[in-house]
Structure 1
Amino acid sequence: MKQKLRPIMFVGTGSDVGKSIINAGFCRIFKQDGYSPAPFKAQNMSLNSFAGIDGLELGRAQAVQAEACGIEPLSEMNPILLKPTSNQNAQVVLNGKPMGNQSAKEYFLGTDRDALFAEAMKAYKKLAGQYNPMVIEGAGSISEINLREKDIVNMRVALAVNAAVILIADIDRGGVFGSVYGTLELLPPEERALVNGILINKFRGDIDLFTEGRKMLEQLTGVSVVGVVPYFRDIHIDDEDSVVLDHKSGKTRDGLVNVAVVLLRHMSNFTDFNVLERVPEINLFYTANPDEIEKADVVILPGSKNTIADLEILRKSGLAKAILNSQQKGNAVYGICGGYQMMGREIHDPQHVEGEIDFMPGLGLLPVVTTLTGEKRTVQSEFTFRNETGLCNGYEIHMGQTELLDGSPLASLSDGSTDGCFLNGKTWGTYLHGIFDNLPVIQAILKSCGKEIRLQEFNLQEYKNGQYDKLADHIRKSCDLEYIYGVISNGE
Structure 2
Amino acid sequence: MALNSAVTPDGGEIGRAQALQAQAAKIPTSVHMNPVLLKPSSDTGAQVILQGHSIGNLNAMDYHTYKPKAAKAVFDSFQILSQQYQSILVEGAGSPAEVNLRQGDIANMGFAEAVDCPVILIADIDKGGVFAHIVGTLACLSESERNRIKGFVINRFRGDIALLQGGLDWLETETGKPVLGVLPYLHGLHLDAEDAIASENAKSKTSQATFKVIAPLLPHISNHTDLDPLICHPHIDFQWVKHLEPIPPSDLVILPGSKSVGFDLNWLKSQGWETYLQKHLRYNGKLIGICGGLQMLGQHILDPLKMESEDCQITGLNLMPYSTEFKADKQLIQRTGTLNLSNPSPVVGYEIHQGITDFKHLTPAIHWTTGEQDGAISEDNQILVSYCHGLFDHPNALKSLLAWSGLNQTVYFDIEQQRETQLNRLADTLEAHLDWQKLNPILGITE
Do both proteins adopt the same fold according to a TM-score greater than 0.5, normalized to the shorter chain?
A: yes
Query: In the aligned structure 2, how far is the partner of 1:469 from the partner of 1:338?
Result: 33
Q: Counterpart of 1:190?
A: 144
AA aligned opposite 1:419: D
Do the aligned partners of 1:291 and 1:322 also contact (CA within 8 Å) in 2?
A: no
Distance 1:94 1:291, change over 3 A: closer
Of 219, 223, 238 in structure 1, the residue corresponding to residue 173 of structure 2 is 219
| Matching residue of 1:37 | none
**Which amino acid in 1 is paired with 2:42?**
S
Larger CA deviation: 87-96 vs 418-427: 418-427
Do residues 228 (structure 1) and 186 (structure 2) align? no
Query: 1:353 aligns to what SS in structure 2?
Result: coil
The residue number in structure 1 matching 2:30 is 74
Aligned to 1:451: 407
Paired position in structure 2 for 1:207: 161
Greater relative contact order structure (CA < 8 Å, 6+ sep): 1
Cα distance, 1:395–1:220 mapped onto 2, change above 3 Å: same
- Could you tell me how far 1:480 is from its partner in structure 2? 0.5
Q: Which amino acid in 2 is paired with 1:480?
A: D
Task: Indicate whether 1:58 and 2:14 are aligned.
Answer: yes
Change in CA separation of 1:245 and 1:234 when aligned onto 2, cut-off 3 Å = closer
Offset from partner CA, 1:21-45 (integer Å, 9 cap, x none): xxxxxxxxxxxxxxxxxxxxxxxx0
1:83–1:490 distance in 2 versus 1, CA, 3 Å: same
Q: Indicate yes or no: 2:411 matched with 1:478.
A: no
Contact map agreement 1:290 1:318 (CA 8 A) in 2 = no
**Judging changes above 3 Å, is the alpha-carbon distance between structure 1 residues 209 and 342 closer, same or farther for their aligned structure 2 residues?**
same
Q: Counterpart in 2 of 1:341? A: 295
Once the 2 structures are TM-superposed, how far is the Cα of residue 219 of structure 1 from its aligned partner? 1.1
Distance in 2, Cα, partners of 1:438 & 1:293: 29
Letter in 1 for 2:98: E
Question: Which structure 2 residues correspond to residues 314-325 of structure 1 after superposition, within 5 A?
Answer: 314-325=268-279
Q: Is the 8 A contact 1:377 1:399 kept in 2?
A: yes
Q: Distance in 2 between matches of 1:164 and 1:365?
A: 55
Using the alignment, how far apart are the partners of 1:150 and 1:246 within structure 2?
36
Which residue of 1 is the match for residue 317 of structure 2?
Answer: 363
User: After the TM superposition, which residues 232-381 of structure 1 pair with which residues of structure 2 at under 5 Å, given as runs?
Assistant: 232-244=186-198, 256-288=210-242, 293-381=247-335
Identity of aligned pairs, percent? Answer: 37
Once residues 424 and 205 of structure 2 are traced to their aligned partners in structure 1, the CA distance between those partners, rounded to angstroms, is: 33
- 8 Å contact 1:227–1:479 — kept in the other structure? yes
Q: Give, in angstroms, the shift of residue 425 of structure 1.
A: 4.1
Q: Give the distance between the partners of 2:111 and 2:243, measured in 1 at CA.
A: 43
Q: Contact (CA 8 Å) 1:251, 1:292: kept in 2 or not? A: no
Q: 1:120 aligns with which of 55, 74, 82?
A: 74
Q: Is the 8 A contact 1:260 1:285 kept in 2?
A: yes
Q: Distance in 1 between matches of 2:291 and 2:13?
A: 16
- 1:49 and 2:25 are equivalent in the alignment: no
What is the rounded CA distance, in whole Å, between the counterparts of 1:321 and 1:83 in structure 2? 30
- Counterpart-to-counterpart distance in 1, 2:288 and 2:186: 32
Distance 1:252 1:210, change over 3 A: closer
Deviation by residue 1:288-328 (Cα, 9 ceiling, x = unmatched): 37885350111100000011111111112222222222122
Contact map agreement 2:235 2:410 (CA 8 A) in 1: no
Aligned CA distance change for structure 1 residues 146 and 449 (closer, same or farther; 3 Å): closer
Residue 85 of structure 2 aligns with which residue? 131
Is the 8 Å Cα contact of residues 352 and 358 (structure 1) preserved in structure 2? Answer: yes
Q: TM-score, normalised by structure 2?
A: 0.94
Deviations 1:267-290 (A, max 9, x none): 001111111122111011110378
Deviation of 1:154 after TM superposition, in Å, equals: 0.5
Shift of 1:360: 1.0
Q: CA deviation at 1:459?
A: 4.5
Structure 1 residue corresponding to 2:133, chosen from 166, 173, 179: 179
> Aligned partner of 1:365: which letter?
L
Which one-letter code corresponds to 1:265 in the other structure? Answer: P
CA–CA separation in structure 2 for the residues paired with 1:324 and 1:389: 28
Q: String of CA shifts for 1:401-455, please: whole Å, max 9, x gaps.
A: 0001332110011111000011154311100000011223322343245432143
Q: Which amino acid aligns with 1:174?
A: G
Number of aligned positions between the proteins: 444
Cα gap change, 1:93/1:450 in structure 2, threshold over 3 Å: closer, same or farther?
A: closer
Q: Does the C-alpha gap of structure 1 residues 339 and 450 become closer, same or farther in structure 2, counting only changes over 3 Å?
A: closer
**CA–CA distance in 1 between the matches of 2:18 and 2:60?**
23
Measured at CA, do residues 289 and 125 of structure 1 come closer, stay the same or move farther in structure 2, by a change above 3 Å?
closer
Worse-matched range after superposition: 439-448 or 148-157: 439-448
1:90 paired residue among 18, 40, 46: 46
Distance in 2 (alpha carbons) for counterparts of 1:450 and 1:376: 35
The 1:155/1:255 distance shift into structure 2, 3 A limit, reads closer
Q: Deviations over 1:311-369 (max 9, x none)?
A: 11111222222222212221111100000000111111111010100111111111221
Q: Please, which runs of 5 or more residues in structure 1 have no aligned partner?
A: 1-44
CA offsets 1:3-33 (integer angstroms, 9 cap, x no match): xxxxxxxxxxxxxxxxxxxxxxxxxxxxxxx
